[in-house]
Amino acid sequence: MCGIIGYAGREQAAPILLDGLERMEYRGYDSAGVAVRSETAGLQVKKTKGRLQALADMTHGGADLEGTLGIGHTRWATHGEPNDINAHPHVSENGRIALVHNGIIENYLELKEHLQRQGVTFVSDTDSEVVAQLLEFHYNECGSMLEAVGRCLRRIEGSYAFGIICSDYPNALIAARKDSPLILGYGEHGNFIASDVTAIIKYTRDVAYMDDGEIAVITPESIDVFDDEMSPVEKAHSVVDWDVSAAEKGGYPHFMFKEILEQPEAVRKTISPRIREGRVVLDDLHLTAEEARRFSRIFIIACGSSYHVGMISKYNWERLLRRPVEVCLASEFRYSDPLVDEDTLVIVISQSGETLDTMAAMREAKRRGGRTLAIVNVVGSSIAREADDVLYTWAGPEIAVATTKAYSTQLVLMDLVGLYLADLLGTVAREEYDAILAAAEALPEQMRQVLEHVEKLQYFASRYFNHDSIFFIGRNLDYALGMEGSLKLKEISYIHSEAYASGELKHGTISLIEPGTLVVALGLYTALFDKAMSNVVEVKARGAEVLAVTTESCRERMEKNADSVVAVPDTHPILQPSLGVIPLQLFAYYVALQRGCDIDKPRNLAKSVTVE
Ligand code: F6R
């Protein structure tokens, strides 16, 4: 979703801002803009609807804009259609204050009407412009920009990350945050703000994460942070442990393809520090056996693919922990009056750590006394900082909108956490524990073997890419995996697709199967392989074309009925989805490629969903 970058330094600001915005393009946007202040030209604002390239063309890559202080923004429309006027930065009526904003100002209409009554004229339909005008109002009143920002924040309701410059302040940029991420970057030739570390990683890895209610004043030499009562705050610095190459395509045609190939290494990095001397070691989880025994209820809360990880984990955890595990979509959970109390463990899964629904659901769970554990990929993200405990997936930056390596690392980390809890509770036999751990250690190498099927999946995609409706069927873990396969396909190829529990087909959906319908049948859960086979026969009898994904041990039997078969190595059943997902990701990727889709940035989607 929207991206923010700001720079106060000694270099020309505009090229740095454009470069940062380009690195955040993956988040999804529909318009972009920059505002730069210079001694001679004053406040210069350039913004436009459409791709960032248009903004770069307008400004000759930023070279036309003088000045070493500036802010930039990529917008994903919420209030007002995507057009040049609604694009950020927004400028106050007297042209002296420019502002970029991520988030939503909930009381903007009330504030707008109030300002209109004072004679202020608005040019855009956005909630953000209201803040620029309100700032001017308070600045005129008190004569200090910092004080004006403080007064403004006390009046607005909603979520925000702001970057603000004022023509009266040649060297200072002001930032503020509430419920929308904002990072401070300490560089050699200047300092930064950014909503996403990828925007500034080329210039610095020395960062600090702003907290809700904080205001920062950024100059070329210093960053001063204040709390909501304007008392100075000492920020702890963090060093980002990946470099710029991790967020670049490095010769691959798409980030999604690169990230699919990175999965064995990402999974290795996630699990290997957590397996020591034949035990799962979770140093960051502060949970005693006694506390674990108290949990009578476990919720897993997430959205999208992270929710699908939760679906698989439900099957695995119930098997390991012998306790009921409920998986909830965060957007449903938060308004469901959930049955959470002090004896409830709430697992929150999020790649970005910023998904608003997931964040709100977690806060609701905490408010009711639940103990929260977050599984997050982005270090320092809001969910990571607010959860009682956090375990990071070490997938590295994920740039493609469709998740692949983050999904795989979430899955394997959830398996380890499940195993750890089962051990604390004494619900897993020693042999089973050892077998799962040994299988987990072998997983990265087996994932590499599955990636050798790239050409086979490319061939199947060329055979099936013209279908306009595709069904994924499976039972138990395969059903949950089918949900992810179906989502991956539909989000990047725009083909309608559904995942069904195979046993449910005959209760309605089978009427949609007609000669030529493509069914992707998952037969990876070997305990129910015979049942999976019967369902393949059932859809074949109605004329379906079947592409099956199964294990090496079941391949021959599957080949007797399916039209096309991909087999992955056998592993412990709990871990089998980690291998089974790779052919589904590759299939989706190649189908989308054949159909000429914008794979890394599918239409209407954003990488980090920070609105409800
Ligand atoms: C699909 C996808 C999304 C995310 C969902 C949750 O490929 O990436 O469905 O999984 O938006 O995002 P996070 O995990 O960042 O909370």
pLDDT digits (tens, 9 = 90+) for 445-496: 999 999 998 999 999 999 999 999 999 999 999 999 999 999 999 999 999 9
Cβ of 491 closer than 6 Å to ligand 1, yes or no, is yes
Mean of pLDDT values over 178-184? 94
Candidate from 351, 357, 484, 608 with most ligand 1 atoms within 8 A of CB, to mutate: 351
Quote the DSSP letter at residue 93. Answer: T
pLDDT in the model for residue 609: 84
- The average confidence (pLDDT) of the chain is 95
| Ligand 1 atom nearest residue 304's Cα | 9
The reported pLDDT for the residue numbered 245 is 84
In short, whether 30's Cβ falls inside 6 Å of ligand 1 is no
Which band of pLDDT confidence, cut at 50, 70 and 90, is reported for residue 190? very high
CA of residue 176 to ligand 1 center, whole Å: 26
pLDDT of residue 242: 85
350 CB under 6 A from ligand 1? yes
- Tell how far the Cα of 328 is from the centroid of ligand 1, in angstroms: 14
Instruction: In whole angstroms, give the CA distance from residue 29 to residue 140.
Output: 33
**Catalytic machinery residues:** 2, 607
- Residue 329 CA to ligand 1 centre (angstroms): 12
Question: What are the phi and psi torsion angles at 259 (to 5°)?
Answer: -70, -30
> Is residue 1 predicted with pLDDT exceeding 90?
no
pLDDT tier, 223 (very low <50, low <70, confident <90, very high otherwise)? very high
408 lines ligand 1 (CB under 6 A): no
Please name which of 151, 156, 167 lies closest in space to residue 71, comparing C-alpha atoms. Answer: 167
Q: Which atom of ligand 1 approaches the CA of 358 most closely? A: 16
**The predicted structure's pLDDT at residue 246:** 85
Question: Which of 155-164, 172-181, 243-252, 427-436 has the weakest average pLDDT?
Answer: 243-252
- For residue 248, the model assigns a pLDDT of 87
* Whether pLDDT at 612 is above 80: no
Region 214-228: what's the mean pLDDT?
A: 97
Let me know: does 204 contact 186? Beta carbons within 8 Å: yes
Q: How confident is the model at residue 419 (pLDDT cuts 50, 70, 90)?
A: very high
Which residue's CA is the closest to the ligand 1 atom numbered 7?
402
How far apart are the CA of 4 and the centre of ligand 1, in A? 20
CA distance 260 to 397: 13
Distance CA 406, CA 47 (A): 33
pLDDT tens per residue across span 337-374: 999 999 999 999 999 999 999 999 999 999 999 999 99
Residue 161's pLDDT is what? 96
pLDDT digits (tens, 9 = 90+) for 489-547: 999 999 999 999 999 999 988 999 999 999 999 999 999 999 999 999 999 999 999 99
Q: In which residue are the tokens 């109605």 written?
A: 542
Q: Which tens digits make up the pLDDT trace of 71-98?
A: 999 998 888 888 999 999 999 999 999 9
Per-residue model confidence (pLDDT) at position 316: 98
Q: What is the mean pLDDT of residues 268-283?
A: 96
Say how many Å lie between the CA of residue 357 and the centre of ligand 1.
11
